[in-house]
Structure 1
Amino acid sequence: MKASAFTVATLLAVASQSTLAAELEVEITNLTKGLYFTPVLITAHDSEDKLFEVATEAPAALQAMAEGGDISALVTQASASSSDIAENPAAGLLAPAASATAE
């Protein structure tokens, strides 16, 4: 009987761990009437890896994205931390009223 209860507990523990992973579909829509969005970077990472910190000076990678639309340094930074990445799902600038989708 104890072996059976242990087996059930083990199976429940393994099943609960697998439910932490999820597939997400993210859609970004440019609702502006005349502004183009820079290339978009969607990334999922743990709480220890940050591309920026609130209330601090923007890092060079974020400045490059904001000022010139260059997301390559942010992609490199996210890749180095083994983040899940959807890089530039719009394949360039995201035009007004256009949408881009990534999983």
Structure 2
Amino acid sequence: MLPLQGSILKCLEKRVNKKVMVMFEKVEDEYNDLLSNKNIIENDKSKIKKVIEELDEKKKETLKVTWVKVNNFREKKALSSAFAEIDRLNEENSVKT
């Protein structure tokens, strides 16, 4: 540290309230903690969105398989009085999340 800087710091120490400096450092630490928590939450959010998309795809596949099985059963007419039919899922009529 240069001698000039040291004298400037001593002069500033007399003018700056030390309690305010401690409060500032505390608030700065809290801010950094909040930023860290925000990043964690954003990462978790993206992971949750990915899981939701995967589950939605599995749901659509399961509905397609069920649709085929029910309609195949209807075509076979195992029982003469049995009737079953499922309409195919329209993407535009499905519930959006």
- Please, what TM-score do these two structures have when normalized by structure 2? 0.33
Work out which of the two has the higher radius of gyration on C-alpha atoms and give 1 or 2: 2
User: Larger relative contact order (C-alpha < 8 A, sep ≥ 6)?
Assistant: 1
More helix by share: 2
The structure with more strand, counted as a fraction of residues: 1
